[in-house]
Structure 1
Amino acid sequence: MISQLSWKIGGQQGEGVESTDRIFSTALNRLGYYLYGYRHFSSRIKGGHTNNKIRISTKPIRAISDDLDILVAFDQESIDFNAHELRDNGVIVADAKFNPVLPEGIKARLFPVPITAIAEELGTSLFKNMAASGASWALLGLPIDVFNKAVEEEFGRKGAAVVEKNIEAVRKGAESVLELAGGPIADFQLEPADGQQKLFMIGNDAMALGAVAAGCRFMPAYPITPASEVMEYLQKVLPKMGGTVIQTEDEIAAVTMAIGANYAGARALTASAGPGLSLMMEAIGLAGMTEQPVVIIDTQRGGPSTGLPTKQEQSDLNAMVYGTHGEIPKIVLSPSTIEECFYDTIEAFNLAEKYQVPVILMTDLQLSLGKQSAEMLDYNRIVIDRGALVTEAPEQEPNQLFKRYEFTENGVSPRVIPGVKNGIHHVTGVEHDQTGRPSESTENRQRMMDKRLEKLKHIQVTDAIKADAPHENPDLLIIGMGSTGGTIDEARRRVDLEGIKTNHATVRLIHPFPAEQLRPLIEKAKQVIVVENNATGQLADQIKLHVGHADKIKNVLKYNGNPFLPAEIEQKCKELTLAWQH
């Protein structure tokens, strides 16, 4: 028996690839397996090749597999596009309708299953996703009752007749492939899972759930890949809690509404991707100048311009740190796991109100849309911190206004929301005095700039650096951010077996940069490599700027639209170590 297996389904977008993957992986999750998924899809509603890859394991995993065990293909293009990933003697379950053939040089077992024919016998080709799922499940020799339960939950709202036909499609798909294969494939039998309950979700849903837990009750947003799921989740949930989601005409309206809602006392956020973040920049400056909290999620994708809207990239870092004109304090957080997406969103709201600054949650397409297993969330960890929010303002002298922007040692002033007695003050995007009245005084200008920027010196976040550093003087320190963390860990386990000592640091606070936490790790390492999905090494540049040691820092970059594979990082580690040794 084996401890892990990789499965992929491919076809044309809109013909059931997503639903097949969803039910197949949901059933595996119910058995207690750990799962890690990646979705390759085209930037169109229907048509164009798409595939979903799921890695199944009895142990925690946070990376895509290098190879592939089973490929389910709805068309020949799916075979031609993906067969190179198959390990020798892997399996292709293909729809017999298109007379599938193996590409030259591919050593795999091909089982042409009448997937479409089965579906049409049951009344519609829509059932072919269930026939394909049944064939996959049968090859693994897993209990069919668990799978049927997942089918019932997926289609139960459509009535018993629909459920029965889908289960019949599963049964016929299973029988057909078992007849071709002569039974379940012995070398694909998975060891039993631990049976423990696990979450199985995408990062966008985890952040949306974190927003709800943090007390967010308003989300204005404009749909954009790969951020739309945050809005779609909250559209279903917030109205049940007295909250509201508004689809705005553009991202400018979205972020200004979010700022306004926070000014009024509500916790609000918006979510977008790189192009939307660009439109938000002036308003983010407004939040910095007026010292209003706001939380913004940026799910990075391939750029610039429309770029690769459905592909992986980590190239918005510079925009998040430097994008606004002028100088304001802001916080940029970078979660790296599903669990961190949840907890970091709660912390983002607390930080925004505690320091009265915009907070940007920086994710990437793989973390935002890749469905993954996660440990059950601990709601006892949730703490709500509203900072220096004043609910009872002191009496003011006649004709005096509340000092909303009062000079303080840490730069954070008392904050009131509209309606608080004695809390009247001005709010304006121009430079102002302590009560908010416009001021062009040179002395006031410098003091206000210093006051706002003083906040950056006091910002504290949970685990600014997440380090795994077992070696005192490692050969390599590997640094990454976002979704690269699990892939780096898997590559490290392999190179450690080769006698190369590695430490790993994931940078979770991008701005203000945690130089003092990272510096000792870099100083102890013989070499440092920085792994990131962009072409210019933006994270590496931040490290060189704030920490130094540019002579020992090397870039490992990938910007073709795909996430890193463990083997790619493993190979780079070996190459750089070999070059250094010589």
Structure 2
Amino acid sequence: ASDVLGEFQLQPGDGKRRLFMIGNEAISLGAIAAGCRLMAAYPITPASDIMEYLAKKLPKFGGVVVQTEDEIAAMNMVIGAAYAGVRAMTASAGPGLSLKTEAIGLAGMTETPVVIVDTQRGGPSTGLPTKTEQSDINAMIYSTHGEIPKIVLAPSTAEEAFYDTVEAFNLAEEHQCPVIILTDLQLSLGKQTVEPLDYSKVEIRRGKLLAGQELPPIEGNFKRYAFTEDGISPRVVPGQKYGIHHVTGVEHGETGSPSEAPENRKKMMEKRLRKLQNLRYATPLNVHAKHAEADILFVGINSTIGTIQEAMERLERDGLKCNHVHVRLVHPFPTEAIRPYIEKAKVVMVVENNATGQLANLIKLHVGHADKVKNILKYDGNPFLPKEIETQAKALFTLEKELI
């Protein structure tokens, strides 16, 4: 009995002070550090903690939290605040994101920088409100009607959630588009030990915002949607002298006035969509790859990172060479970053909490090598256990060897 208990004894501590928090708290801290001053939301599991935390803390920094009458109002309020030059965000789960979808399209059309948090839970419909899932990946990329630029980030840990939230606000303003922070219930509500946050890493980048600057005199309206080489136009706030322009959800010209002219439509679509061509995101992947060529490459997203790592250690002891990449930039997909790891692996096993292999399908779409991409799926509402990944990985690898 003592031998068995010995396996579960904690190692002595190192005496270093650390933080103990859930992912939602890390997102909230990141929003405050990023300069967010308006958070509008409607309560929903598992996102409510973000609103509750910010309701206590944000007023101390001159900010406001508004519990709106519904998800639609929350999204539109965030758009209005961002249009006025305020860093603003909302947070919800899958059902709320469904309701916010049309307004997210409005933010894309009006080139308004907004930050949205989706804490994934079991769906569809009301689904499993208190259980984890990773089934909103496609919805966060494709759900708006029409085509807009959009950035989707997926932190793997509470620590990453803090820094990614800061970066989300920067990217939203630099590219003037919606940025979605995609988490799952296990990451949002699971408690984690976190190294002390380094606030010296926090920087505020507001892109082409001209608020507070003196604009040159012009005749007519300001070209808020001016055609530029990078697709990103100068941005002003209401009331700025010489900055008057029109804002509408219908197609428009450079000053914002409605236009259905075919040539203008084509130029505006191309302008908006090229805004992400020069996107720079420092860590699109978390990489744990000690082998030049691997028997198995594991790919995951969000909260599965630790479970995959533990399963890998067990498989390595059995003689299998395992590498691991965890996707942190979901859209635009980091095709060239992930390609070398996929090409140098015998089998690619994508671990995800959904029934249809959404992340695996993104890899097949953008990178190819569909013949070597295999699914390890779980969609019963519970997080993966290391033993489950280990067992399925062994079975899949053995089957592949037999087929070869």
- TM-score, normalised with respect to structure 2: 0.97
* Corresponding position: 1:196 with 2:16: yes
- Counterpart amino acid of 1:397? I
Selected match of 1:247 from 32, 53, 67: 67
Name which of 207, 215, 219 aligns with 1:394.
215
Out of 417, 421, 425, the position equivalent to 2:241 is 421
- The structure 2 residue matched to 1:526, chosen from 328, 343, 346, is 346
Aligned partner of 1:355 among 151, 168, 175: 175
Secondary structure of 1:483's counterpart equals helix
In the other structure, the counterpart of 1:342 is 162
Distance 1:494 1:417, change over 3 A: same
Cα offset, 1:287, TM superposition: 0.2
Contact 2:218 2:242 in 1 (8 A): no
Partner of 2:320: 500
Q: Cα 1:409–1:189, aligned 2, differ >3 Å: closer, same or farther? A: closer
Report SS of the residue matched to 2:287: strand
Give the aligned CA root-mean-square deviation in angstroms.
1.5
Gaps of 5+ in 2: none
Measured against aligned partners, the alpha-carbon deviations of 1:503-532 in whole angstroms (never above 9, x if no partner) come to 100011111111111111111111101000
2:178 partner letter: P
Measure how far apart 1:466 and its partner are: 1.5
Q: 1:575 aligns with which of 369, 373, 395?
A: 395
SS at match of 1:487: helix
Q: Which has the higher contact order (CA 8 A, sep 6+)?
A: 2
Aligned to 1:516: 336
Aligned to 1:405: 225
1: distance between equivalents of 2:37 and 2:330?
27
Per the TM alignment, residue 462 of structure 1 is displaced from its structure 2 partner at its CA by: 2.1
Q: Is the contact made by 1:393 and 1:423 (CA closer than 8 Å) also made in structure 2?
A: no
The offset of 1:189, in angstroms, is: 5.2
SS of 1:216 mapped into structure 2: coil
Identity score, percent: 66
TM-score (norm 1): 0.68
Aligned: 1:281 with 2:101:
yes
Partner Cα separation in structure 2 for residue 198 and residue 352 of structure 1: 30
3-state SS of paired residue (2:129): coil
Cross-structure match for 2:121:
301
Decide which of 225, 229, 247 is 2:49's aligned counterpart: 229
What is the Cα deviation at residue 188 of structure 1?
6.3
Of 354, 359, 377, 1:557 maps to: 377
Q: How far apart, CA to CA, are the structure 1 residues paired with 2:256 and 2:265?
A: 12
Distance 1:461 1:578, change over 3 A: same
Distance 2:91 2:146 in 1: 23
Give 1:321's aligned residue.
Answer: 141
CA deviations 1:24-66 (Å, max 9, x no partner) are xxxxxxxxxxxxxxxxxxxxxxxxxxxxxxxxxxxxxxxxxxx
CA apart distance, 1:355: 0.2
- 1:195/1:281 CA distance change after superposition, 3 Å: same
1:217 Cα offset (Å)? 0.9
Q: Structure 2 matches for 1:60-209, cutoff 5 A? A: 190-209=10-29
Match of 2:258 among 438, 449, 453: 438
1:215 paired with 2:35, answer: yes
Runs of 4+ in 1 over 6 A off after TM superposition: none
Counterparts of 1:389 and 1:436 in 2: how far apart (Å)? 17
> What letter matches 2:354 in structure 1?
N
Equivalent in 546, 553, 572 of residue 366 of structure 2: 546
What do the CA deviations read for 1:518-552 (whole angstroms, capped 9, x no partner)? Answer: 11111111110100000000001111111111010
Distance 2:86 2:337 in 1: 34
Report the residue type matching 1:395 in the other structure: P
Distance in 2, Cα, partners of 1:263 & 1:237: 23
Amino acid paired to 2:228 = T
**Quick check: which has more Rg, 1 or 2?**
1
Distance in 2 between residues matched to 1:378 and 1:206, nearest whole Å: 13
- Whether the aligned pair in 2 keeps the contact of 1:396 and 1:402 (CA below 8 Å) is no
Deviation of the 1:393 alpha carbon: 5.0
Q: Residue type of the partner of 1:351?
A: L
